[in-house]
Structure 1
Amino acid sequence: MSTVLAILKEIAQAPGLLKELYGDLAKPGVSQVGKALGSVLGLGNTILWPITLMNEKANIALKRNLEKYREQIKEVPEDELTEVPPEIGVPITEKLSYVTNEELSNLYVNLLAKASTFKTAESAHPSFVNIINNLSPDEALLLEQFRDTDALPYVEARLVKKDNRNQWLTVAELLTDLRVDKLAFPDNLISYLSNFEGLGLIKIRKDIFIVNDALYDPIEKRNLPLFDLIQYSKETHEPELKRRKIEITSFGQLFIKACLSSLKDQIQQEN
């Protein structure tokens, strides 16, 4: 190891780094941070934190994200803390030095906090870091609507041949009740859902639906006028809204539990 890297590693492992980050070592939660991240400080990108803190923009991002982490674990008794595994801690701390989007940084911080206690460490899977890495800010925001449920309704709008109902033309394949008004790119909704499916968080089912008319009625009422906007022969085809469902996988439910809720919320739910 070069002399420079050796010096940086020593600085990164010292209490002085925590003082630089938090201002006061006696501040509630700082000792917990030191214990939980003890196996991480000095590894990977954390070795460069002293240099990172010299960059104003990076300084703000790192301090803000680590402050959110301190807030989450400050009330955890030290005997309930465990060292964060490097395979989780190293890639997350790297992201915390430059991720500024609130939704994405919350996912990283929540996961890091869960990996910091004996009670919740089992829910913090290393693969979840890569899942977050592959999410856009819009997708992180959209995921909030997948909490506290195992399935969401959607309908497929299509024109079905009257003489052969096994033949149809798809007008719109994925019409949901998901709110998109806060998304930066609402037209990308289908792409976002496809990404969720590719990451193993959901399954877009075409073979089954939720047995609950109340879930589908608003979607169908809102989208029935679609058929008035297209030209088709009413003698040969008729409109149909086929009910389907988006299924949150067991893996997706674990991810949501670990990354979307705070440490305090998860502990309260389990007690």
Structure 2
Amino acid sequence: HLPALPTRWPENFRPDDVTAPVHGVLVKDRIEHGDARGVGQHAHKTGQLTITLSGWVGLSVGGSIVALPAGTAAWVPSGVAHEGILGENASSWYVHFAEPLCAELPKTIERFFISNLALEAARRFIDRNDPFDADSPLGRIARVLIDEIRSAERLKPGFAALSTHPLLKAVAEAIIAEPDMRVSREDYAEAAGISGRQLSRILAAETGRGFGDWRLELVMLQATLLLRRGMTTEAVAAEVGYSSATAFIVAFKRVFGVTPGAYVTGN
């Protein structure tokens, strides 16, 4: 199965409390199957910055799932319906911004690489809800965080698109469970009970993506998790089906624009 369940907010966290212009929380618990305490699709009066700290983090938006690789974040504007999701042992920060501070931030959901500077700025707002002025030390840190969000390098809009279509969901589950570039389109299609051409047609209709790029991004999504767990580039390359570390590095850079080493260090 797709390795994610809805998030459970900490007991006393109130995302729309604007006592402080910016406040955040560590989110690491999930709503297990059959638990009625999930909030489902919802929208906030505040803007939400979701930062992946570890594991498989994403957002459910309408009929699709937005994946957030390690080292990335997503901005969700106020009023946009969504639901946070987490994989096993995953964690993230949710940082909420009062509406006046959202004026310079995107009006649609956007995913981007999170800089070390932005991470350190966001850290200052976790588990605190103290009011502050724009010209105070916290106000200046909030300004830095906003500037970092605005200038961050964006992920491609269709990156690792995950559909709720039953057949595509089954194929995505197979790729995520055992990411291996040696497995062909026909192999995945046969396991789903369709032909390779049918798989490509359904994928194009649902996501606008070709199978090769889509599968590569799902594999690299899992590769980022392995890299962040401390595996070497060579070990990750072998794990996801590349014959050499060089070939893996070329493919990784094609997807993310940086080498695996630069990705891990945040450069």
Q: Which structure has the highest strand share of the two? A: 2
Tell me if TM exceeds 0.5: no
| Greater gyration radius | 1
With normalisation by structure 2, the TM-score equals 0.29
With normalisation by structure 1, the TM-score equals 0.29
